[in-house]
Amino acid sequence: MNKTKDSLIRHYFWPNCVKDTENYVRSCDPRQRFGKAREQRKAPIKLVPIITEMFSKVNIDAVAPLPVSTKNNRYLLTAICMSSKYPEAIPVADIYSVPVIDDLLEIFSRMGFLREFSAI
């Protein structure tokens, strides 16, 4: 509404110009149907639990496809601790194979076994 009033006042003037403009904008059909463009409903704030124990929750993902390395690795297996943001990255040749499980066990041997993980 303010932009409309400012634009109108810059170019025109008559008695009760501001009041007439406000009344017109308030009675405008699209405004009554859709409201202000900036009046959007906000999603309710959701509390996120604080993770205090290190490596109790880890996000695991595979980055792919990458250029093939000299050791024939094409993928990168990543694990990120959600409490400390500590990252682990292991290059792997195939993400659908038993060696991936071995690589995850290698990560778990350093971090400890997880209570929860999410694969992104």
- As a whole number of angstroms, the distance between CA 106 and CA 89 comes to 11
Q: Give the chain's count of helices (H) and strands (E).
A: 4, 4
Query: Which residue pairs, CB below 8 angstroms and at least 24 apart, start in 85-93?
Result: 86/54, 86/55, 92/62
pTM over 0.85: no
The pLDDT tens digits for 67-118 are: 999 999 999 989 898 888 999 999 998 888 788 888 888 888 887 888 888 8
Domains of the chain: 1-34 (no CATH), 57-119 (3.30.420.10)
- As a whole number of angstroms, the distance between CA 77 and CA 113 comes to 17
Most confident option among 19-23, 39-43, 91-95: 91-95
Cβ contact 25:31 at 8 Å: yes
Residue type at 113?
F
- As a whole number of angstroms, the distance between CA 96 and CA 81 comes to 23
